[in-house]
Amino acid sequence: MFASRTFLTLACLVASVFGATYSQTDSHQGSGFLKSFTHQAIADPTHGRVNYVDQATALAQNLTYYSGDHFIIRADDKTVLSASGPGRNSVRLQSNKQYTTHVTVWNVRHMPQGCSTWPALWEVGADWPNQGEIDVLEGVNDQTPNQSTLHTSSGCTMPASRSQTGTSTGNNCDVASTNNAGCGVQAPTANSYGPAFNSAGGGWYAMERTSSFIKVWFWSRNDASVPSDVKNGATSINTDNWGTPYAYFPSQSCDLNSHFGAHNIIINLTLCGDWAGAVFNADGCPGDCATYVNNNPSAFTNAYFDIQWLKIYG
């Protein structure tokens, strides 16, 4: 009995010390993204003025390309569109693997910028919204800061006060009750999104998902506080050493196990649509969003992701 109690005590101690330690399961860089992700040539679920193309088209038109540790996805910046034709060619990638408990670390040099742009790095279940959605990086029309958001079915809310450095935009994650706004948290720094993010050379985003919580962190490129395991894409990480996240979604009033299923990782750039189009003028962009996209290909010269790597841990 004493021995078994001692073992249990040691086991609890080990769990408390190493409970946030993860080992790398996947590493994506350069051409590796093409093997691990699929181009989704689908109608945009958010009704954007885009035409998502398949991999062959994306490669042929340089909408997806790689060089060394640069992996680029972008919108077309050469074509004037017909108002009656399809939207601007762009890219939506979905991971071939699915994940439940895991950590993602994104090393991003540049993100799409410009009026009408709506870029995102996110995760979603096959049965939306019942299997949930986690938006890690998302925003529209160059409006800072970044916002990380959960979208769920009913019965998932967040406490008004919790341990995070960001600012909550809403605490009910249910898409039906919030017109799909979900429960978002804005990062505390302007350089977490858009032109300010790009001017700083980008940075690192990290998301940890467990059955007890979901956390999101951001460190700008020259942030002295970026943990070494994040910065270096280490084979083993310890999230307990990463400090207070800017977004913290605990399970106390949301059963994460029942609201979040196996997720695919998505990288995409849409234009206009349900969010960027709805606030296009309010965000200081000129005229009509769809017309702007149709007539101004040169406005999308900087509408691209440059991802150095993505590391996944489990």
Q: How confident is the model at residue 218, as a pLDDT?
A: 98
The model's pTM is 0.93
Cβ partners under 8 Å of residue 1, min gap 6: none
Active site residue 208: no
Mean pLDDT computed over 194-217: 98
Of 278, 45, 49, give the one whose Cα is nearest residue 141: 278
- Let me know: does 193 contact 139? Beta carbons within 8 Å: yes
Cβ partners under 8 Å of residue 85, min gap 6: none
Rounded CA separation 62/103 (Å): 30
Mean pLDDT computed over 187-210: 98
pLDDT tens string 118-132: 999 999 999 999 999
For the chain, domains (ranges, CATH) are 22-313 (2.60.120.200)
- Predicted confidence band of residue 13 (pLDDT cuts 50, 70, 90): very low
Rounded CA separation 10/111 (Å): 46
Mean pLDDT computed over 147-156: 98
- Indicate which residue of 76, 77, 123, 133 is catalytic: 133
Share of the chain above pLDDT 70, in %: 94
In this predicted structure, the answer to whether residue 3 has a pLDDT above a threshold of 50 is no
Cβ partners under 8 Å of residue 190, min gap 6: 144, 145, 196
- Indicate which residue of 44, 76, 138, 174 is catalytic: 138
pLDDT tens string 208-247: 999 999 999 999 999 999 999 999 999 999 999 999 999 9
Average pLDDT over all residues of the chain: 94
The amino acid that residue 120 corresponds to is A
25 phi, psi to nearest 5 deg? -110, -25
Q: What distances in angstroms separate CA 148 from CA 137, 185, 214, one per listed residue? A: 6, 5, 11
Rounded CA separation 250/90 (Å): 35
Q: What distances in angstroms separate CA 46 from CA 62, 182, 274, 281, 314, one per listed residue? A: 24, 15, 6, 18, 31
Of 115, 127, 138, give the one whose Cα is nearest residue 267: 138
- Let me know: does 300 contact 196? Beta carbons within 8 Å: no
Cβ–Cβ contacts within 10 Å for residue 83, how many?
8
In this predicted structure, the answer to whether residue 8 has a pLDDT above a threshold of 90 is no
- Predicted confidence band of residue 15 (pLDDT cuts 50, 70, 90): very low
Mean pLDDT computed over 10-14: 36
pLDDT tens string 160-180: 999 999 999 999 999 999 999
pLDDT tens string 243-291: 999 999 999 999 999 999 999 999 999 999 999 999 999 999 999 999 9
